[in-house]
Amino acid sequence: MFNPASSIPAADLRPGMTSWRSLGPLFLLLLGMLFALYWDTALSMVQIWWRSETFAHGLLVAPLFIWLVWRKRATLSRVAPQPCLWGLLALAGSLAGWLVADMAGVQVVRQLCFVAMIPSLAIAVLGWRVAWIVAYPLAFLFLCVPMGEGLMLPLMNYTADFTVGALQLLGFPVFREGTFFELPSGSWSVVEACSGLRYLIASVTVGTLFAYLSYRSLWRRAAFIAASLVVPVIANGFRALMIVLLAHYSDMKIATGVDHIIYGWVFFGAIMLLLFWIGSFWQEREAEDIVPADGAFARRPVSGLRVLASGLASALLLVLPLLSAAGLAARAAPPVPALALPVSPGDGWVIDDATPLTDWRPHFQNPDGERTVQYRRGDDVVVVHLAWYGRQRQDAELINSRNYMIEQEHDVWSNIGERVLEQGPHPVRETQLRSAKLRLLINDWYVVGDTPVLSSVRAKLLFARDLLLSGRDAGYGVVFYTAQTGDGREAQARLRDFVTLVEPYLAQAVRP
């Protein structure tokens, strides 16, 4: 094993080790302070790792990071840490990003900024030369952030497109509706577990580690990481096709239950082994880290005043965003509006709750106010659902992954398609749901302040803007739905006309 004391003259080693003895404990102390102060953010990631199979890889990232840094201990011992002003600026930027994300309630950005604080703190206290030696492990840390759920729907659509297209090329008659399709032998649907997101995230995590350990040139590392992104997406299409063909040719006796999942992971494992085997042909010997040959950085002393200044500045920066966040959280919640809609908005429509159209309701988590109103005109029925949030906060916010039309793999309802419609004064999201007895056509959107919006990202930014400018961040979700028959054109026209008729009353309904 490499012994730094046998390779470096004592005159060069002593000042460097003195810097480590002062700045090393300071860095660990500030790192502990970071986790103590931002424990809620760290815990939010751990909870997702623990409950989600998709992001369970996060449990391994921290131990792997420690091991990767430990492998660099010999090189690190030859470079004396030096506090760096640029690290303080990076830390301030990460903390500012965390505060904005906390105000807007964007958990994934809050988590990303929390992780970014770690390399920023390393640069601020230990210096950029130390951070450069462990730059790849520090970048690897970002894989612990549970992100990528936005890829779920595109991956589901791709898997359905690939599978249906391949079946049609093979001569199978296929009827498709959204992510559902039927063969003469049975019915299939592409749900979250079939999207391939789990395979993709696992592939990128393992592929990133393999690239670091197997290659030293940046282009080879980048090429292998790119392959670990592309290969599982393509392979998941073939996996889904294989599952359907196995079930079809076995008269739906295999690949339709738990074995469906098992075959999928076996196929994924085989693909990854093949990818690593091919990648091993270009494997390179690990390069030695370059450090100054004259030991200049090891001999450079660090004054006690500089150590104290970097520690105090870092600690102050860590505390300031929490004080601001506490002040914003202590603001009083606005009064809850009545959410009252007109009894008769016109064109023959009147409130009539005597015979509910359906017991289905959109799911909004912990709104401050919520109301469902059913209107009828002859045999036509349209339902309006409002969910109002007076103050955005954890687990009670308008933009949240737990606010949805239906949960995946619902016992009764299936989501057969979503699209954005450019109609009226602003776009709306159209969703089609079906059950054994009824089909629903749904239009929905968000309203932040007085601004209608569909994009979750834009809504979060508007909330942050309103909070900074006015100290308020109220918003509400609007959902209109009606029964759909035939090709849906009649239901689409009915909803479009009704939305145009009722929307002017919404601003008054949410006014306290």
Position 284 in a domain: no
CA-CA distances (angstroms) from residue 47 to 32, 40, 255?
A: 20, 10, 32
The answer to whether residues 58 and 104 belong to one domain is yes
Claim to verify: residue 161 and residue 139 sit in the same structural domain: no
Mean pLDDT of 447-455: 92
pLDDT at 14: 44
- The predicted pLDDT at position 454 comes to 93
pLDDT digits (tens, 9 = 90+) for 162-202: 999 999 999 888 888 777 888 888 777 777 777 788 889 98
Domain assignment present for residue 460? The answer is: yes
Q: What is the pLDDT of residue 189?
A: 77
Q: Is residue 338 part of a domain?
A: no
Nearest to 430 by CA among 479, 370, 359: 479
84 and 206, same domain (yes or no): no
The arithmetic mean of pLDDT across residues 39-43, rounded, is 94
The length of the chain is 512
Three-class SS of 475-500: EEEEEEEEECCCCCHHHHHHHHHHHH
Domain count, the chain: 3
Distance CA 44, CA 130 (A): 29
Pair (140, 50) in one structural domain: yes
| Rounded average pLDDT over 96-116 | 89
286 pLDDT more than 80: no
Average pLDDT over residues 377-395: 91
pLDDT above 90: residue 60: yes
Do 354 and 443 lie in a common domain? yes
Mean of pLDDT values over 244-268: 72
Q: Rounded to a whole number, what is the distance in angstroms from the first to the last CA of the chain?
A: 71
- What is the per-residue pLDDT for 358? 93
pLDDT band at 111 (very low <50, low <70, confident <90, very high): very high
For residues 196 and 228, what is the distance between their CA atoms, to the nearest angstrom? 13
CA distance 237 to 273: 18
Distance CA 438, CA 358 (A): 8
**What is the 8-class DSSP label of residue 252?**
S
The confidence band for 42, taking pLDDT boundaries of 50, 70 and 90, is very high
CB atoms near residue 136 (< 10 Å): 17
pLDDT (0 to 100) of residue 7: 40
SS3 295: coil
pLDDT at 398 over 80: yes
Average pLDDT (385-405) is 89
* 500, 373: one domain: yes
Are 358 and 498 contained in the same domain? yes
Distance between CA atoms of residues 278 and 233, nearest Å:
18
- Give which of 373, 349, 329, 359 is closest to 479, Cα–Cα: 373
Which one, of 351, 371, 346, 389, lies nearest residue 504 by Cα? Answer: 346
In a domain, 281, yes or no: no
- Picking from 270, 287, 316, the residue at the C-terminal end of a domain is 270
Neighbours of 299 (CB within 10 A): 16
- Flag whether 293 is in a domain: no
Q: Find the DSSP H helices in 38-106.
A: 39-51, 58-70, 73-77, 85-104
450 domain residue, yes or no: yes
Confidence tier at 12 by pLDDT (50, 70, 90) = very low
Assigned domain for 283 exists: no
pLDDT of residue 5: 40
286, 284, 222, 285: which is closest to 75 by C-alpha? 286
Q: Residue 362 belongs to what domain range?
A: 350-509
pLDDT band at 300; cut points 50, 70, 90: low
Are 505 and 386 part of one and the same domain?
yes
What are 471's strand-pairing partners? Answer: none
Domain assignment of residue 137, yes or no: yes
**Pair (257, 118) in one structural domain:** no
Please, which residues have CB within 8 angstroms of residue 387's CB and are 6 or more apart in sequence?
362, 364, 367, 369, 370, 398, 403, 476, 477, 479
Percent of the chain with pLDDT over 70: 90
Q: Is the pLDDT of residue 389 over 90?
A: yes
Buried b (16+ CB within 10 A) or exposed e, 486-495: eeeeebbebb
Q: Which secondary structure element, helix H or strand E, spans residue 385, and what is its range?
A: strand 380-389
| Dihedral angle computed from the Cα positions of residues 134, 138, 141 and 143, in that order, rounded to the nearest 10 degrees | -100
Q: What are phi and psi of 480, to 5 degrees?
A: -115, 135
pLDDT at 289: 54
Query: How would residue 4 be classed by pLDDT, with cut points 50, 70 and 90?
Result: very low
How far is Cα 483 from Cα 494, in angstroms, rounded to an integer? 10
Whether the predicted pLDDT of 258 surpasses 70: no
Is residue 255 over pLDDT 60?
Answer: no
Are residues 214 and 100 located together in one domain of the fold?
no
Question: Do the Cβ atoms of 416 and 179 come closer than 8 Å?
Answer: yes
- Mean of the per-residue pLDDT values for the chain? 85
234 shares a domain with 107: no
Quote the tokens at residue 136: 């790849």
Query: Is the confidence at residue 443, as pLDDT, over 50?
Result: yes
Domain shared by 321 and 392, yes or no: no
Beta-carbon neighbour count of residue 12 at 10 Å? Answer: 18
